Amino acid sequence: MADGFGVDTAAARSVASDLTTIRTALNGFGATVADGSTGSPKVEGALQRFFKDSSDNRKLLDKLLERGIGLMNGLAEGAESLDQGLAGALTTSGDGAAPGGGAPTRGPR
């Protein structure tokens, strides 16, 4: 059994955001490949060939980024939900508080 579990949800959300930025940049790469900004037909041709020849890898990378984004968001959401659920289940207050400083007690047998 695990002794503890901890998640930095802000870090998980930050990673998801960074992956989203990378994915957006990757998917926008095609629009900037051959815009004529290099001033060289040879460079433009090389960029176009690179873009065309790397399409399978870009598609795979896009799917992996999408999955990573989902995993990081899921981790953050799941950890927050678990934390809220445990906090609600373990909170004791008022006259109904368990004796012994809130330690769990056994119910009727």
Render the chain in DSSP notation, one character per residue: --S-----HHHHHHHHHHHHHHHHHHHHHHHHHTSSTT--HHHHHHHHHHHHHTHHHHHHHHHHHHHHHHHHHHHHHHHHHHHHHHHHHH---GGGPPTTTS-------
**How do residues 35-94 score in pLDDT, each as one tens digit?**
667 778 888 888 888 888 888 888 999 999 999 999 999 999 999 998 888 888 887 665
Size of the chain in residues: 109
Decide: pTM greater than 0.85: no
pLDDT on residue 104: 47
